[in-house]
Amino acid sequence: MNRPPPSSARAYSPSLDNLRNLLLIRSIALLGQAAVLAYVLLVNHTIQSLWGIAISLLVMGLLTTASLWRTTRPWPVADQEFLIQLMIDVLGWSALMYFTGGANNPFISYYIVPLVIAAAVLPWRHTWLVAGASLLAYSVLLYYYVPFAVFTPHSAMGHNDGASVHVLGMWFNFLFSVSLITYFVVRMAATLRRQEARETAQREDRLRNDQIMAVASLAAGTAHELGTPLSTMVLLTDELLLDDSLSEQARQDCTQLRRQIAQCKSTLAALSRTAELTSVGQTRRRAVGNFARQTLEQWQVRRPGVLGDIDCAGPGPELELDPTMSQALENLLNNAADSGSQRVHVSVEWDAREARIGVRDWGCGIAPQRLEHLGKPVIHASRKGLGIGLMLTQAAVERCGGRITLHNMQGGGVLATLILPLHRTAAAGTAS
């Protein structure tokens, strides 16, 4: 199926997701310091000594807002940019701590948060830079700071209220740091695991596509090489049929051979046409019921020893079908026949969103340990099939936006279901 490239939909970026998490952590920390500023204003009713913290909060707020706007841009987030954002956290927090008591501020241990984040998502040398900057800032704030009565226990000597505020601030900071590290770092680690899983799936897809291209090249070369001997066989068969001394039984055999050769040539011609249509991305609109019925009838000509029947309520909605979809469905039918089943049942169902073509057999089934590997690039040779044919089928169906499911049935055999999405207009018509 021809689908427009997802130009409007932005691709998932784990680095961008981690940056948004970092900015959310920073915003929460800044709101906490803003609450401290509001508390002091409420108690002292003056802002004379609070200009430094107010300006620091304003600058950090503007930087955070600009960074949030940046996350809406399609630019990739590199490790260097993430390092710069963590350094902004360290420097900005140092400014806030300088104007609020330095190392006496119970929120001083917030430095551990950017350090843990760096260890979770950045290379080790970047992490060491964040660690060095945090340690240097903490050390400087031990000696250089602006006294802040609320967070300086010495200035509240003999005043239980001041000491209680400091202890309460230390407890709140511990709770705040533990919550942030537990929640956000776990989220970031999960993001990295999802990225690794995506990369693994992409590697498998590339490997499968490489194998499919190799098979396609081999098939194209074989089709080209078979053309000449088949033409020669047609000429020889025609000459034999012109021989008047040929017995009646031999004449019937030659006629049957002539039909089989014509079938082979027709199959090769169809293969060439399919390759041409696929290379230019052409699709055809076909009713799902008619498509399944015609494919089953064509398949039964080549597998007359297997009884095939179909359960379909009507022509069904129309689908945009790739030229390879007929071969994909035939591969499922061949797998069902190769399982030893003397009967293959095809069922066709649909709803407003998708169409489902089920192929049911009564064979020996599939070993559970093999189910999860079927359709993957690793192909295991098997006399019962379910190897390269299913891999090619999986690729063709995914190209049309669909999927394949396989289930061992309770009464024996396997149900293979080919699921294809409906075109929007077709789905709407079916729903109505």
Residue 91: what pLDDT?
93
DSSP code at position 110: G
CATH of domain 284-431: 3.30.565.10
Residue 13: what pLDDT?
62
User: Crossing angle, helix 124-141 and helix 79-98, to 10 degrees?
Assistant: 10
- Centroid of chain to Cα 144: 51
Q: What are the structure tokens assigned to 229, written together?
A: 């001997």
- Regions in the chain scoring below 50 on pLDDT: 1-12, 155-160, 162-163, 277, 279-281, 377-386, 424-432
Residue 257: what pLDDT?
86
pLDDT tens digits for range 196-222:
777 777 777 676 666 666 556 666 666
Residue 423: what pLDDT?
63
User: Among residues 56, 41, 26, 54, which one has the least CA distance to residue 117?
Assistant: 26
pLDDT tens digits for range 90-149:
999 899 889 888 888 877 888 888 888 887 778 888 888 988 898 888 888 888 888 877
Distances (CA, A) of 152 to 108, 132, 140, 265, 345: 12, 26, 17, 93, 81
Residue extents of the structural domains in the chain: 14-204, 206-279, 284-431
Residue 345: what pLDDT?
93
Q: Which residues does residue 419 pair with via DSSP β-bridges, in sequence order?
A: 356, 403
Residue 348: what pLDDT?
93
> Residue 19 half-sphere exposure, CB side, CA atoms within 13 Å?
27
